[in-house]
Amino acid sequence: MGGTKNTTTRVGKASFGVSKCTRPARAGLKPDSPVNLDQGDPTMFEEYWRKNKESCDVVIGGSELMSYFSNPHIMCWYLLPELEDSIHRLHSLVGNVSTEGRHIIVGSGSTQLLQATLYALSANSPQPVSVVCAAPYYSCYPELADLLKSGLYKWEGDAYNFDKEGPYIELVTSPNNPDGYIRGPVVNRGDGKVVYDLAYYWPQYTAITHQLDHDIMLFTFSKSTGHAGSRIGWAIVKDEKVARKMLKFMEVMSIGVSKEAQFRAAKILGAICDGYEGFRPIDTENFFEYSKRLMIERWERLREVVNQSEIFSLPKFSQEYCLFSSEFTETHPSFAWLKCKEELKDAQSVLRGQKILARSGTKFGVDPTFARVSMVSREDVFNAFLERLSAPKGAVSNGNQA
């Protein structure tokens, strides 16, 4: 036992011996530093996994997971069987989508898979296929579609304004990033393909009202459990030809996906299922109850501050019956989509004046009276956000000039 202990080394001091990943304590937020809520880094879930730290450890030996291949007998040859199992298991538990008989393609986050999808749906097209999404749309879509100036597909903006002839791909984000609303396609033409980005279709964010069964559905480890650093996403794909083309993209662009990340994702997703299946230690709250409770608390606190501010407003959501929790619940999105009074014009600037970094509505295809703020930061950062948002109005008007 002493021997084991002696060979354990900490991060940053690589040496022959077991390396246990333990990060140094984070420095607290300084009063004059901006609160950065521009990105949606889902660090609020760290606390849950810290409580379950010991029981969710993964250990990988030096000679494990070395090959490019995981399973030569399935289409997605780099997919670890245990990750495939955990994905099926979690969706079956939550009931958010059907995975029965579907192809699962894993990527470096759903970001990479979205590109794989664009490629798969446009690979045989003589002209660039139009890519659209109803505004406000996720701010990364335009750049993701246009970065390489592909001759296969081209970003054409807001789906509500789309009137070009020819084939198109509509991205449907539901619940939507940035505003949290449940969505369906808006173009609805015969020559279109619809890709569902379901990153937030989990019980902590919204009611699970249907078991979805669309042609192409994308998920990510980042938003489901908070493990953004792993860069694991998965696509659930009905059509074999589409799945094969996505796989082609994954082969050419990165020859598969990190096995370490897959192994850990399999463990974490499996641990959530274990909890619901009675294998968990009894003093631990299950993940979706814990995370939903926190989201509700944060949203209640935010709505209180916003109601008092007289400057901002927030989207309103109706109660829906959740098949997973067997109760009525409303949506508690991962982002707050703040709208400032019309006369203030620029929500991002108003927030910047209060030392809050947000993302302007202009990045999402709408006007600058909107701004998006992450709701899934660490607790101290969220507290600082609310404090600053409830600052006296003098500070606000100063900020607006900044």
Residues in region 191-250 near a second copy by CB under 8 A: 222, 226-232, 249
Q: How far is the CB of 294 from a second copy (least distance, A)?
A: 15
Query: Do 362 and 386 contact (CB within 8 A), yes or no?
Result: no
Span near a second copy by CB under 8 A; candidates 95-103, 177-185, 270-278, 311-319: 270-278
Spell 271-305 as b/e; 16+ CB within 10 A means b: bbbebbeeebeeeeeebbebbbebbeebbeebeee
Phi, psi of 338 (to 5 degrees): -85, 135
For a second copy, the closer CB: 49 or 181: 49
* Separation between Cα atoms, residue 235 and residue 192, nearest integer Å: 19
For a second copy, the closer CB: 41 or 320: 41
Q: How far is the CB of 67 from a second copy (least distance, A)?
A: 5
* 3-state SS assignment for residue 300: helix
* Separation between Cα atoms, residue 116 and residue 135, nearest integer Å: 22
Sheet bearing 359-360, strands edge to edge: 312-313, 335-340, 370-374, 359-360
C-alpha of 44 from chain center: 13
Q: Tell me if 25 contacts a second copy by CB under 8 A.
A: no
For a second copy, the binding residue among 246, 273, 311, 381 (CB under 8 A) is: 273
Q: How far is the CB of 307 from a second copy (least distance, A)?
A: 31
Q: Tell me if 23 contacts a second copy by CB under 8 A.
A: yes
Q: How far is the CB of 33 from a second copy (least distance, A)?
A: 11
For a second copy, the closer CB: 102 or 280: 280
* Separation between Cα atoms, residue 141 and residue 132, nearest integer Å: 9
Span near a second copy by CB under 8 A; candidates 108-116, 172-180, 195-203, 335-343: 108-116
For a second copy, the closer CB: 60 or 402: 60
Q: How far is the CB of 80 from a second copy (least distance, A)?
A: 8
Contact positions with a second copy (CB under 8 A) in 248-267: 249, 252-261, 263-264, 266-267
Phi, psi of 57 (to 5 degrees): -60, 145
The position carrying tokens 């082969």 is 251
Spell 360-396 as b/e; 16+ CB within 10 A means b: bbebbbbbbbbbbbbbbbbeebbebbbebbeeeeeeb
Contact positions with a second copy (CB under 8 A) in 27-66: 39, 41-43, 45-50, 52-66
Contact positions with a second copy (CB under 8 A) in 132-191: 140, 143-144, 147-152
Q: How far is the CB of 172 from a second copy (least distance, A)?
A: 21
Spell 187-208 as b/e; 16+ CB within 10 A means b: beeeebbbbbbbbbbbbbbbbb
Closest CA to 309 of 248, 392, 196, 212: 392
Closest CA to 305 of 363, 373, 366, 226: 373
Q: How far is the CB of 75 from a second copy (least distance, A)?
A: 17
For a second copy, the closer CB: 218 or 347: 218
Q: How far is the CB of 29 from a second copy (least distance, A)?
A: 13
Q: Tell me if 282 contacts a second copy by CB under 8 A.
A: no
- Tell me, by CB under 8 A, how many residues bind a second copy: 98
Amino acid at 26: R
For a second copy, the binding residue among 12, 101, 190, 394 (CB under 8 A) is: 12
Q: Tell me if 126 contacts a second copy by CB under 8 A.
A: no
Q: How far is the CB of 92 from a second copy (least distance, A)?
A: 14
Residues 77-106 vs a second copy: string with x where CB under 8 A? -x--xx--xx--------------------
Spell 69-93 as b/e; 16+ CB within 10 A means b: ebeeeeebebbbebbbebbbbbbeb
User: Any idea of the CA torsion for 329, 332, 337, 340, to the nearest 10 degrees?
Assistant: 70
Q: How far is the CB of 140 from a second copy (least distance, A)?
A: 7
For a second copy, the closer CB: 30 or 316: 30
